[in-house]
Amino acid sequence: MVANPRVCRFKIQLGVTMGIPNRDEVEGKFDQVKGKTKETVGRVINDRDLESEGQAENLGGKVQEGAGKVRRKVGEAIEDVGDAIKR
């Protein structure tokens, strides 16, 4: 039987339960890394346009990751309510 990824949760060492990151969270984190890289390269080669592009991409990635976290938390809350009703 294959586990449903929406329901799968894993326990971190601190005892906090966290859901599997969704596509927005992963893509947002990737955009942050790309943006930070462009920002650093732009700073090294003294290219202000590349540096600014990197800053914008980094910020966009943070926003996308945050939206993904909100979506995941809402989904988990809905699942928890559904589980409570089933009991």
Read off the pLDDT of residues 39-83 as tens digits, 9 standing for 90 and up. 999 999 999 999 999 999 999 999 999 999 999 999 999 999 998
| Residue in 59, 53, 28 with CA at minimum distance from that of residue 38 | 53
Identify whether 35 is part of a domain: yes
Identify whether 39 is part of a domain: yes
Confidence bin at 86 (pLDDT 50/70/90): confident
Which domain covers residue 29, as residue numbers? 21-81
Burial per residue of 58-75, b for 16 or more beta-carbon CB atoms within 10 angstroms, e otherwise: beebeebbeebbeebeee
Identify whether 56 is part of a domain: yes
Question: Would you state the pLDDT for residue 19?
Answer: 74
Identify whether 72 is part of a domain: yes
Identify whether 7 is part of a domain: no
Identify whether 12 is part of a domain: no
Identify whether 25 is part of a domain: yes
| Domain count of the fold of the chain | 1
- pTM here? 0.72
Average pLDDT over residues 25-34: 97
